[in-house]
């Protein structure tokens, strides 16, 4: 039986898990974006570099799907990163219709130089958490993601 954690009659946005996750994400972005700007990068450029570094994406389509980003806007970001020598686009050897994205040596160097910026901001945000609480929060967020992804699309709209 599915647990009912919310009731339509008492539901309020400010106590919704979705609202709280989105608000936490927004606060994190507002904290990190100025630090990236000081380094001459945008958050989306950072996301692309990290997705490539960590193997979360190989193509622009992968990044759009994973990050829920508009393909036209992403193309501009990729163009900027390519112009800066951070990434290269290469025709896939498995499927000539597909273009894969690859970090250049410069791109790897930039990612490494920006990681401390992110780490510092995350550590500041989590300063009042114990190590165990951070591990539990990470576990719970991953559990939430799995639960949300398991909802059939037809039901998600209902």
DSSP-based helix, strand, coil % in the chain, nearest 5: 65, 5, 30
69-104: pLDDT as tens digits: 778 888 999 999 999 999 999 998 888 888 999 999
Q: What is the pTM of this model?
A: 0.81
Which residues on neighbouring strands pair with residue 91, listed in sequence order? 99
9's CB contacts (< 8 A; 6+ apart) are none
104-149: pLDDT as tens digits: 999 999 999 999 999 999 999 999 999 999 999 999 999 999 999 8
């Amino acid at each position: 039986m599915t647990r009912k954690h919310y009731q339509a009659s008492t539901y309020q946005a400010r106590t919704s898990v979705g609202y709280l996750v989105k608000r936490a994400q927004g606060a994190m972005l507002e904290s990190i974006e100025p630090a990236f700007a000081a380094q001459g990068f945008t958050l989306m450029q950072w996301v692309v570099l990290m997705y490539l570094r960590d193997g979360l994406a190989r193509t622009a389509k992968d990044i759009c799907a994973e990050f829920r980003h508009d393909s036209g806007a992403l193309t501009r970001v990729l163009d900027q990163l390519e112009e800066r020598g951070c990434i290269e686009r290469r025709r896939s050897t498995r499927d000539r219709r597909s273009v894969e994205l690859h970090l250049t040596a410069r791109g790897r160097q930039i990612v490494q130089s920006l990681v401390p910026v992110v780490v510092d901001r995350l550590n500041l945000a989590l300063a009042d958490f114990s190590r165990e609480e951070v591990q539990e929060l990470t576990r719970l967020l991953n559990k939430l993601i799995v639960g949300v992804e398991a909802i059939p699309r037809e039901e998600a709209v209902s």
